[in-house]
Amino acid sequence: MRQSHELPLVGFLLFSLIPRQLCEICAVSKTSYTDLNPLINTMINSEYTKGIQAANVLLSLRLAGILNQNQEQQLIQQVKRNVDYKPSNLTSGQFALGILALGTCKNPDATSPDFPDLVRKLGNKFQAELKNMDKHNGNPLTNYYQLSLDVLALCLFRGKYPINKVAEIFNPKNENFYFKKQFSVDTGAMAVLALTCVNNTKNWQEKTDTEALKNIRSHIKSLIEKILSHKKENGLLGNIYSTGEAMQALFVSSDDYNESEWNCQQTLRTVVMEIHKGAFRMPTAAAQILPALMGKTYLNVNKTSPCVYGSGNFNISTVEPITATPTLTPLQIEVNYSVVINSNTYSIMVCVANGSVFLNVMEAAQKKNETLFSFTWENSSWGPYITSVQGLRANNNDRTFWELLSNGKPLDQGAGSYVVHEGENLEVRWSKY
Strands 409-410 and 178-179: unpaired
Tell whether residue 404 is among the known ligand binding residues.
Answer: yes
Tell whether residue 402 is among the known ligand binding residues.
Answer: yes
Tell whether residue 274 is among the known ligand binding residues.
Answer: no
Tell whether residue 145 is among the known ligand binding residues.
Answer: yes
The answer to whether 59 touches 97, Cβ cutoff 8 Å, is: yes
Tell whether residue 386 is among the known ligand binding residues.
Answer: yes
Partners of 428 in beta bridges: 339, 404
Label residues 9-25 b or e (16+ Cβ within 10 Å = b): ebbeebeebbbeebbee
Tell whether residue 258 is among the known ligand binding residues.
Answer: no
Q: What are phi and psi of 74, to 5 degrees?
A: -65, -40
d(Cα 146, Cα 96) in Å, to the nearest integer? 8
Tell whether residue 161 is among the known ligand binding residues.
Answer: no
Tell whether residue 263 is among the known ligand binding residues.
Answer: no
Tell whether residue 366 is among the known ligand binding residues.
Answer: no
Tell whether residue 293 is among the known ligand binding residues.
Answer: no
d(Cα 91, Cα 381) in Å, to the nearest integer? 12
Tell whether residue 143 is among the known ligand binding residues.
Answer: yes
Partners of 404 in beta bridges: 428
Q: Which residues sit in the known binding site for cyanocob(III)alamin?
A: 142-146, 186, 239, 288, 385-386, 402-404, 411, 433
Q: Which residues sit in the known binding site?
A: 142-146, 186, 239, 288, 385-386, 402-404, 411, 433
